[in-house]
């Protein structure tokens, strides 16, 4: 705690400037120690052949790590797996999330409670939930196959969501959509509620159809919110690790090996620390670059 201020009338105790520094410094210090310093260290390591599990001399090898990563066809496969995951999770979450928000905004009785229930999955530990979904996905004994074949007919043991190359990418999309649709829904709901009723009333006077109102008022007004939700889901799912690692572990083969899993293998299983550091830098630059471009677009939409 800061020193107790003596009641001598020295204006107002500590000067504002001093308080500002005392208040901000611990945070800045912690972030420097746990974020910035490590980041610089990572960049430095990315030019070396360092292996954290070996006691041998570390050599600077220039851009060789970067060259190896970018020319390795497996890197591009993991990027593809990540892109597939990103695209479809965002697609479904936006679609379902917006629809739900639209419906909830009709303010039926008890919508508050049901909204809370829908929100539950996003509050839970992805690793724990993801682990349990492997049980739900088991052919025969799992609930998922049983439910699906209950509606479509067929044998519940005839397919395996996390075992088949064609299905595994969808298995992770389904769980992520289940977990995070509520997030998009909440943001959309905030957007819908920010639209003043008077706009619709004016449109009503102009005899604009409901359909027209939806496309000319609702969608444009909610769009900035929706784009924001997409940005957050995009960043989060680009980093995705816990859910996928527990669900499929990257398999079968390398079908669902998203970049984080690949990075974990390089860094903490193969212990190619230098190589993995370069990989981390590439990922960071990618997210940062894509996010910056996106934010520019977002601001344009906002200004419109």
CB of 301 to other proteins, least distance (A): 14
The reply to whether 140 sits near other proteins by the rule CB under 8 A is yes
- Contact call for residues 180 and 174 (beta carbons, < 8 A): no
Say whether 48 sits in a helix, a strand or coil.
strand
CB of 80 to other proteins, least distance (A): 13
Report the alpha-carbon distance of residue 199 to residue 193 in Å, rounded: 12
- Contact call for residues 252 and 246 (beta carbons, < 8 A): no
Say whether 60 sits in a helix, a strand or coil.
strand
Q: Which two tokens stand for residue 8?
A: 């001598």
Q: Which two tokens stand for residue 151?
A: 């509606």
What angle separates helix 273-303 from helix 219-238, to the nearest 10 degrees? 170
CB of 250 to other proteins, least distance (A): 7
Residue from the set 131, 148, 192, 221 that interacts with other proteins by CB under 8 A: 131
The reply to whether 164 sits near other proteins by the rule CB under 8 A is yes
| Window 37-96: residues binding other proteins (CB under 8 A) | 37-39, 41-42, 45, 49, 52-55, 96
Residue from the set 75, 79, 88, 114 that interacts with other proteins by CB under 8 A: 114
Residue from the set 67, 76, 87, 158 that interacts with other proteins by CB under 8 A: 158
User: What residues does 60 pair with on adjacent strands?
Assistant: 48
Report the alpha-carbon distance of residue 81 to residue 250 in Å, rounded: 9
Q: Which two tokens stand for residue 98?
A: 């917006």
Residues in the chain: 304
CB of 75 to other proteins, least distance (A): 13
Residue from the set 94, 172, 189, 230 that interacts with other proteins by CB under 8 A: 189
The reply to whether 237 sits near other proteins by the rule CB under 8 A is no
| Window 242-301: residues binding other proteins (CB under 8 A) | 242, 246, 248-255, 259-260, 263-265, 267-273, 276-277, 279-280, 283-284, 287-288, 291
Count of residues engaged in binding other proteins, rule: CB under 8 A? 128
CB of 43 to other proteins, least distance (A): 10
- Contact call for residues 235 and 291 (beta carbons, < 8 A): yes
| Window 4-43: residues binding other proteins (CB under 8 A) | 5, 12-14, 16-17, 19-24, 26-28, 30-31, 33-35, 37-39, 41-42
Report the alpha-carbon distance of residue 87 to residue 153 in Å, rounded: 30
Residue from the set 47, 85, 180, 238 that interacts with other proteins by CB under 8 A: 238
Residue from the set 116, 297, 299, 301 that interacts with other proteins by CB under 8 A: 116
Say whether 112 sits in a helix, a strand or coil.
helix
């Amino acid at each position: 705690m800061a020193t107790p201020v003596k009641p001598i009338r020295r204006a107002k105790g500590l000067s504002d400037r001093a308080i500002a520094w005392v208040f901000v410094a611990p945070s800045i210090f912690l972030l420097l120690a746990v974020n910035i310093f490590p980041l610089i260290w990572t960049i430095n390591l990315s030019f070396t052949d360092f292996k954290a599990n070996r006691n041998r001399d570390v050599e600077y090898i220039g851009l060789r790590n970067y060259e190896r990563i970018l020319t390795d066809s497996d890197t591009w496969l993991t990027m593809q797996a990540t892109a597939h995951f990103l695209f479809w999770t965002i697609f479904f979450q936006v679609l379902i999330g917006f629809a739900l928000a639209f419906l909830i905004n009709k303010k039926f009785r008890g919508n508050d409670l049901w909204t809370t229930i829908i929100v539950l999955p996003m509050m839970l530990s992805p690793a724990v939930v993801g682990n349990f979904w492997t049980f739900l996905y088991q052919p025969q004994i799992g609930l998922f196959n049983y439910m699906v074949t209950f509606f479509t007919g067929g044998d519940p043991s005839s397919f395996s969501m996390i075992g088949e190359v064609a299905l595994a990418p969808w298995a992770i999309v389904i769980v992520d959509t289940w977990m995070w649709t509520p997030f998009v829904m909440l943001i959309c709901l905030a957007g819908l509620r920010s639209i003043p009723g008077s706009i619709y009333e004016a449109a009503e006077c102009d005899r604009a159809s409901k359909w027209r109102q939806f496309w000319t008022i609702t969608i444009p007004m909610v769009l900035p919110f929706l784009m924001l939700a997409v940005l957050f889901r995009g960043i989060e799912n680009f980093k995705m690790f816990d859910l996928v690692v527990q669900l499929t572990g990257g398999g079968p083969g390398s079908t669902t090996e998203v970049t984080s899993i690949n990075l974990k293998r390089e860094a903490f299983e193969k212990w190619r620390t230098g190589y993995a550091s370069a990989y981390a830098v590439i990922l960071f630059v990618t997210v940062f670059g894509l996010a910056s471009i996106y934010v520019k677009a977002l601001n344009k939409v906002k200004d419109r």
